[in-house]
Amino acid sequence: MTDYTIIDEPKPGKFNHLIISPLIIMFASILVPLFINLPYFGRIWIPAVWLVANGLFLGSASIVKEIIMAIAAVALWFAIIFGSVYLSELLPQSINFQSIFPYSRILSQAIFFFFLMYIVNLQSTAYSLYEYMHKGNK
């Protein structure tokens, strides 16, 4: 007799050995760029891709939301950075772009981390249930 499955319970697949706590991914995405310069804006898209992959391995019930949030986080970060560069070309010469850039950087970082933390928050529920079920089966 199989147990009933509750809708928000994770359904891990064959890659369950690759599942790690989403909090570790978040801390890695904050700490690693302090020591290593990741190429091709890696500090932005690597955490997002890693979180989505972790959600897929976990069989997270909120995976669709997590993917949408990850795409939104990366897209918004690039939109703010490249948008401010584009805006600087439209601005009259009298306004110094260098003075605006630090503000757009702060804003893009805040928005990016908000989305990242939101995904971590969503995935943490599935991860804690997975951990509970995993330990319970041992």
Residues in touch with another protein (CB under 8 A): 1-8, 61, 99, 102-103, 106-107, 109-110, 113-114, 117-118, 121, 124-125, 132
Closest to another protein by CB, 39 or 138: 138
**Taking the complex as a whole, how short is the minimal distance between the CB of residue 97 and another protein, in angstroms?**
14
Closest to another protein by CB, 16 or 109: 109
Q: Which two tokens stand for residue 67?
A: 């993917």
**Taking the complex as a whole, how short is the minimal distance between the CB of residue 55 and another protein, in angstroms?**
16
Closest to another protein by CB, 1 or 39: 1
How far apart (Å, rounded) are the C-alpha atoms in residues 103 and 115? Answer: 19
**Taking the complex as a whole, how short is the minimal distance between the CB of residue 124 and another protein, in angstroms?**
7
Closest to another protein by CB, 48 or 61: 61
